[in-house]
Structure 1
Amino acid sequence: MAAPAPPNPLLTSSTADSSPAVQLHPLVILNISDYITRHKLRGQKGPLVGAILGLQNGREITMEVPFDCKYVEREDGSILLDEVFFKERLEQYQTVFKSPQLELVGWFTTGQPSGPEQRHLPIQLQLQTDLGYESAMLLLFHIALASQTAEAGGKLPLTLYETIWTNEGSMDIEGPERNQPLRFREVPHTVEASDAEMIAVDFVARGGGNATAVESETTSAETKSNENGKGKGKAKVEGTEEKDELYLNHEEEEHIAGLQAKANAVRMLQTRIDLLLSYLSSQPPSYLDDATTPMSAEPPPNHEILRSINALVARLPHLSAANSIVLEREIKEAKTDAQLLELIATLTDVLPDIRELGQHWAQAQARTAPVPTLGTLRVDKREFGEGEAIEAGGPLR
């Protein structure tokens, strides 16, 4: 068994009397993810740092717009923000977002889940002491946890920290005193999204899924063509055809998004059910079932949780029985409509064949039918004279 990791010396164990209420907008998470992806795909070296703009009203903070920043490396290997670039870019963003006027509320970078490191201190001190942003917070994005928390219900791979000046073994100090060490304290946050952001996030998620599928299929097609060694021209044509087949229309994207949402809901429900089963299986046997079981157990069961589980189980039949008849009727109607549409489509497909069969049948009947016998015909007197008659099939006189 591995030894537990030592505590982070930059984190303080003290608790705040009133923690700030931080609202994190999805645009911040999307942009930071985009910066990290571009940084990795371009093969760029060095850390990734940026600033976060938002609003602050007392202890209420909203983080709305991020932007990446340039940095300069000092002789000792530590990094600082390029103040000229930072001030110019900050002024540009504040000119764009001036109603309401956004201000700098924090900065972001990448780091380990254990918390801030020594390399994060220079920029934090620069923002608080040199640039005058004493309440600037740190958003630490954990790249190592990004793949582990991608499933439904997973925690976001990021942590927010506020800074305090502490005196070792003494109370926290609110003001920036250079003779006191700087410590970080984790701050809870919530994700707040507006209607426009929800539409944008949904569009980006659907577009990103299609782009990933096209890239993976094209890459596999090129790899297969290179292994076969049959030339580049044919491989490009085949890869283009596969790429064209992967585009989805709007209805298909909506259908896939709905199925994905249902799959995530079912997966989360299964996770919660497994959690309840695991909790119930860990409970000691009840003395009501076995009289020899002692009434006192270590640790004692949580009766409040057990009552909640019992109430949930008792409520399940009432939730499903109320709409079962209506649901069955809707399922039958949908099935009947689908079968009717399929039958109409089949009849539409066979109509040309039935029409062609009728034409061939009429032609065959015309050839095989016997010649009718007309007998004696009475001809109009205006044409051949009064009372004249001819035999059927005979010559006209």
Structure 2
Amino acid sequence: MSAMDTDEPQGVVLSSGAQSGLSLSLHPLPILNISEHLTRLKLQTNSNSPFVLGALLGTQNGREVEIVNTFELAVEPGGELVDHGFLVSRRDQCEPFQCHSQLSDDDPFADKQVFPSLEFIGWYTVAPRPTPRHIALHEQFTGYCSTPLLLILQPSITLVASSDVNAQNLPFKAYEPTIELRDRKSRSVFIEVPYNVETGEAERIAVDWTARGGGSGTSLESHLQTQRAAVKMLHDRIMVLVKYVTDVVAGQAPKDHATLRSLSALIASLPATENNAFREEFETEYEDVQLTAFLSSLTKSANILNDLVDKHLVMTSGGNGERGPGGPRRRGMGMGMNRDRDWDRH
């Protein structure tokens, strides 16, 4: 089915002069879901153009439509037919009860609604443009929705930088199905539907949280990951220079004296890390850091042990031990002071 993207255009999209009367809003979650679906299939199939197919969930009020969420779909062996059993099971989990009230109380999907306020409103795929095969796929969804929308992710589209969140600067295009009459014959075609990106407060927080790395770790971890990426980039560039010099020495690359002079000046500006005085100072600093960490750990262990001894003495005294103005005397602290006096005498 991946050959869908290679079909010659058959004019299944009406010219730009035709306009749709839909007012379409696209939420961020479907954008993230479809992008993740494509990326995952690329890695799983080791293909740059895997067949991506999924359903769109949203709400429709007259000619106002919102695409709020998605779920993935399966296809029959051969890739030409949608797995309708899988689609129905997923749809029944998401749609409100009143849309499929024929479900009995014993039905496994009767109490497992995931998105009870959403309904099936269309499907999505990945392709450069709609083709006749998309028309054939579209007809398989008309039994679930009278006019299912089509949302296409176009990874190869040229993006235009814009600060306007509602501008059509995303690699997505939405299409509404319609019927065209030509030469006394009718055929199914698509009309492109302009859309706005609708973002609620909760979605803005979630998208920002995802962009910042989500729950992947603390700010220190994020900083270390940034540093690691920078070091890796530096290493890659150094390896390019090393390979160039190696090829020049081996006679496999022409000599560029300007480049070689720049490399020589760069090497001369580097610190002499193999100098004996540097190594000695570095090892001293390293030992000091290690000793500080060891002393910190030892102090923490001593404090824990002292608290344990105090609790043990309180429990074993049975209330008969010497008591001070504030309760039982902290014998552990006294023992520690006696030990200090013994060490001073030595």
- TM-score, normalization: structure 1? 0.45
Match among 23, 26, 42 for residue 25 of structure 2: 23
Aligned partner (choices 170, 179, 195) of residue 189 of structure 1 = 195
Aligned ranges 1:66-145 → 2 under 5 Å: 66-74=70-78, 79-94=80-95, 95-98=113-116, 101-112=117-128, 115-128=129-142, 131-145=143-157
CA contact (8 A) 1:136 1:162 kept: yes
Q: Cα–Cα, structure 1 residues 206 and 151, in superposed 2: closer, same or farther, change >3 Å?
A: farther
Query: Letter of the aligned partner of 2:139 in structure 1?
Result: L
Structure with the greater alpha carbon radius of gyration: 1
- 8 Å CA contact 2:73–2:82 kept in 1: the answer is yes
Partner of 2:175: 161
> Identity across aligned pairs (percent)?
33
Question: Retained in 1: the 8 A contact 2:179–2:187?
Answer: yes
Contact 1:51 1:69 in 2 (8 A): yes
The alpha-carbon deviation at position 56 of structure 1 amounts to 0.8
- Aligned equivalent of 1:35, options 5, 17, 37: 37
Question: Contact 1:53–1:102 at 8 Å: present in 2 too?
Answer: yes
Aligned residues: 205
Which is bigger in relative contact order (C-alpha 8 A, separation at least 6)? 2
Cα distance in 1 between the residues matched to 2:76 and 2:201: 39
Structure 2 counterpart of 1:89, which letter?
R
Q: Write the distance in 1 (CA, Å) between the matches of 2:226 and 2:43.
A: 18
Q: CA RMSD in A?
A: 3.4
Find the residue that maps to 2:69 and give its secondary structure. strand
Distance 1:40 1:18 in 2: 33
CA distance in 2, matches of 1:123, 1:90: 17
Partner of 2:62: 58
Letter aligned with residue 69 of structure 1: L
Partner of 1:361: none
Distance in 1 (alpha carbons) for counterparts of 2:86 and 2:188: 26
Deviations 1:197-245 (A, max 9, x none): 01011111222895984774475588699999xxxxxxxxxxxxxxxxx
Cα distance in 2 for partners of 1:215, 1:71 equals 41
CA distance in 2, matches of 1:61, 1:28: 14
Structure 1 residue 72: Cα displacement? 2.0
Q: Structure 1: where are the runs of 5+ without partners?
A: 1-5, 171-178, 229-397
The question of whether the paired residues in 2 share the 8 Å contact of 1:149 and 1:157 is answered with no
In 2 relative to 1, CA 17–158 (structure 1 residues): closer, same or farther, beyond 3 Å? Answer: closer
CA distance in 2, matches of 1:216, 1:17: 47
Deviation at residue 43 of structure 1 after TM alignment: 3.4
Distance 1:222 1:91, change over 3 A: farther
Q: What code does the residue aligned with 1:72 have?
A: E
